[in-house]
Structure 1
Amino acid sequence: MRDVTSPSAAGGAARPDLRPDPETVTSVSELGYQLRLLRLAAGAPTLRRMEAWAAEGGTSLPRSTISNAMSGRHLPALSTVLAFVSVCGCPAHEISRWRAAWQRAYADRYMHSSDPVRSAPHVTAAPPGDGGAEAADEVDAEATDGVLAARIASLPLVQSAERLTALGPHRAAAILTALGAGPASARMALMPHEQTRTILVVMTPDLAAECMARWNEERVLSLVSDMAEDAAAARMTELPQATAAGLLIRMTASKRNTILTFLAPHLVSRLLAELSDDDALELLRTMDVRMAARVWSDRLLRLLLACADTAWAVDVLNAKDPGSLFPMLERATDEERFATFRMVDPEQRGELIRFIEPDEPRYWGWMKAIGKDSVTEAIEALEPAHAADVLALARQTWGPSFPDPRQ
């Protein structure tokens, strides 16, 4: 992380007395204020210097973008906020607080506000008895969504999209919902990116996903990547699994990691099934160890054993509930099974051994393959009641003379 504690020509000394607090952010204006405060706390580096620092780290952060972010008038992209706080020297554990602050500002701007509805001109046929002349009629801002939807649906696609773009996202979403997924997706395909993204967030996740499923993956990836992660996850949950898996693997690692925290473990397991071994392992490696341990898939064991990062794979196996890991071992090959027993720590090994049924002759071979030394280590690592279970199993396997290592 960049050191911003000493004075430089690019700015003054850091100001520890200034304490920006992203937890207080509930709106775009408050986000801008806290970003301004953060820059001052970092010694007020010039915008040019901040742009250069970001470039050194491989990130684009133009001066105009920095200025807009601090203005409190424009909602910056999440990537802008993360780059901003990074060049201001925020420690890694603070990044998640700024991410959450951006999400609250995003929600306030697009999901919980009441957008004004602008009227839009609409040409209709003259009423009977008017001699066939055409008259201009202005769409009533107070018209019901159903009436307005019918009027907009009668326009050519391009003109219809333009009228929807002129409306606030909540009203536009309501009208598009009334039109249905097919007509809605056709019109949103012609609308600006930001307006489309906002409407998809305002829409119910199932309808938004039905619309997105009709577009090419590039467009969907761009839209989902610009959404707050919880909103993106809700809509990806409704997409076809192959589509959602393809989107996840193409996202940046940081975006993917945050979205995964909002997805149910059983869904993540199904998405893994849609990916090649290499992509599935990449997705797993993005996850927190505890999240990866919750994945339920027979394939998980094979992927972990093949992972080049052995330390990470061991952490996942040790974090996995033994009651869910043991059934995977039952269905694994002998080689995979015994490799797993060798990899896990003694306590986890002992918990797994406790699931072995001595009345099943085929399990006796498990004990012998695990080996006396490994079983002894497991007994030493377990709490007394569980250790007694493993010791009893060991004595059934090797005879009553098997020593209790705790004595």
Structure 2
Amino acid sequence: MRTKRILTPASPLAIATLTIGLLTIGLSGCDSGVKEMSDDEVPPMASIEIPIGVVVALTGHHAEPYGLPMQRGFELALEEINNLGEVKLSFITVDDMSTPDGAEAAVRHLVNQNVPAIVGLAISTHLKQAAPIAQENEVIAFSSVSSASGLGAIGGFVFRTSLVTDVSIPDGVIATREILDYEEVATIYDEVDVYSTSSNEVLRSVLGENGVEILIEEAFKTGDTEFSEQLTRIAAKNPDALFISALSQEIAGILAQTAELDFPETIQIIAPDLTMSEVQKAGHGAEGAIGFIGWSSMSDAPGNRAFVQKYRAQYGIEPEPWAAQSYATLHVLANAIKTAQSADATAIRDALAQTTDFPSNLGKLGRFSFNPDGDALYDQILVVVRDGELEFLD
């Protein structure tokens, strides 16, 4: 058992909540905790407080798997950044209520608050609807979780921390096929979710390019809880592997039902964004499943062990990938503000676009960069479920 180290924050995070229309808005901020300096010693960007918009799901379907971990990651990073004393940030946090319309309304509200940047916007379907509003108003929309391909084309103010599907899927397929040597596969995907359809489309292309035949494709809709008919048809085809393209709740449900249906153990299950949340919910159904992910608590990326220790001490739980990615997002944004020496959105955007090999807690090596579309580049991690735990897939 690991011994938890007690971390005492420089000051508690204050959260105020008010209602605007159908939105619940929480304002949060914390003191920098930096000892007093003379006017000559204070870095220019530490003398002003820059409001950052945060759009996360605090209620609804996506709150538990995505929104609440993201909020914790942002808050932990905010405390660290302000304590460093080089820039000073505060949050205006808006609940997107787990809907695309909620995300759009949240972004419109934050644009009216004159924030230079908005972080969060987890779900690709939400980002697709809400990011054009930020782009039109020249406000940065920096998603810490969205990974559907092509959304960077919305415009130069859109950035993402997750590895997008047209980066992660090809690398994952090549790596897993070298290990498993599969020739015939099946796919199952959410036909209404933008990320899931993007993942399945990229899979279809990459598998074909590598000579792998897709025997059957099955679909469902976000919120479905019954997958037995699709899984039964897949089992009848007896593929070498099954690829799952879905959001957290549905991944867990599909994995759990493979155990209930006595799904053939000869069919290797691969879920690209597999996390411990789905593993724990799925129980025995997750055993042996493989994922390719952007963050692991086991990684030796710069600062990752310190992040894991601080998170455990602050919240009393193990850090989730979406918390880790949100933590990295705010540090990348703060570095761009420091580089730009400006609170102007265009200046920050230009500094973000030039981010190269920034030390982060993501991937195995932690070298974070952006491609020309504002999508993140770093090495991803292959994992497998063994005895209910995620381990590196060698």
For the aligned pair, the TM-score class normalised by the smaller chain equals: under 0.3
Task: Give TM-score, length-normalised by structure 2.
Answer: 0.25
Considering Cα pairs closer than 8 Å and 6+ residues apart, tell me whether 1 or 2 has the greater RCO. 2
Indicate the structure with greater strand content.
2
Query: Computing the radius of gyration over CA atoms, which structure comes out larger, 1 or 2?
Result: 1
Task: Give TM-score, length-normalised by structure 1.
Answer: 0.25
